[in-house]
Amino acid sequence: MYALAFGAHPDDVELSCGATLLTLIDEGQPVAVCDLTQGEMGTAGTAETRRNESLEATRLMGYNERITLDLGDAKLHYHDESLQEIITVIRRFQPSVVFANPPDERHPDHMKASRLIYDAVYYSGLKKIRTAFNSKNQEPYRPKHLLYYMQFTHFNPSIIVDVSKTFERSRQGILAFGSQFYLERDLIAPETMIQRKEFLTGLEARARYLGEQTGVRYGEGFVLPGPLGVTSLSTLFQET
């Protein structure tokens, strides 16, 4: 698997790095998604509603696979059992690149997810940590790269991906979560920040701003937890 994108809740991935994942899929790279919780504590929607929305988003986006853990929405805490489940997922898919919630965020679950994923990426490479999938022991495996995507809190990105060709299509994945966002059919006032009509407009404004930083129409930003080592500068900075 080339990329494994984690989210604390269903829709985290679509909102934050969906266009980048579509770009990878268009390039022929396999992509999987893992939601750490079922999103059952959200103001709108139920666990069942969000499960059905996740299935529709997966179909529209074209992920190779999506799995949803049950680590507890609004009860997502750091403990060995949760860490073990995330390590098992990483070893199962063996991704080169992991996408994760950023460590500094408005929602406590996002920050807790970030810490769990960061630690799991490292610990998944330790052979004395034992995990199993489908009754078979898993081999240790550590992904090469970890990227934090942008959510509510803005940061100066280490990388801006040109998503001009996929941004509009990525909106389908977001709108699949119809219980969470403003739709034209809604007649009542929104109860949450993300249900405001302006929320989706704001996402587009951010993508345009990030794109402008590199001279393209739309961009998605990511930050690395450490320096990126390269073996070939010419490969990294190819002529276009």
Which of the four pLDDT bands, split at 50, 70 and 90, describes residue 219?
A: very high
pLDDT of residue 45: 66
Average pLDDT over residues 197-211: 88
Vertex 76: Cα angle to 70 and 80 (nearest 5): 85
pLDDT of 130 above 90? yes
Residue 138 gets which letter from DSSP?
P
Q: Which two tokens stand for residue 72?
A: 């507890």
More confident residue, 187 or 137: 137
CA 36, 39, 40, 44: dihedral to nearest 10 degrees?
180
Domain of 216: which CATH number?
A: 3.40.50.10320
pLDDT of 209 above 70? yes
Q: How many domains does the chain have?
A: 1
Q: What is the mean pLDDT of the chain?
A: 90
The range of the structural domain enclosing residue 205 comes to 3-236
Q: How many residues does the chain have?
A: 240
pLDDT of residue 193: 66
Q: pLDDT per residue over 24-75, tens digit each?
A: 999 999 999 999 998 877 666 677 888 999 999 999 999 999 999 999 888 8
Which of the four pLDDT bands, split at 50, 70 and 90, describes residue 240?
A: low
The region of weakest confidence among 13-17, 63-67, 146-150, 173-177 is: 173-177
Q: Which residues pair with 4 in a beta bridge?
A: 32, 98
Alpha-carbon span 101 to 8, nearest angstrom: 7
Alpha-carbon span 162 to 120, nearest angstrom: 29
Which of the four pLDDT bands, split at 50, 70 and 90, describes residue 235?
A: confident
- Name which of 18, 64, 68 is nearest 40 in CA terms: 68
Q: pLDDT per residue over 161-197, tens digit each?
A: 999 999 999 999 998 987 777 665 555 545 666 667 7
pLDDT of 238 above 60? yes
Vertex 81: Cα angle to 78 and 84 (nearest 5): 100
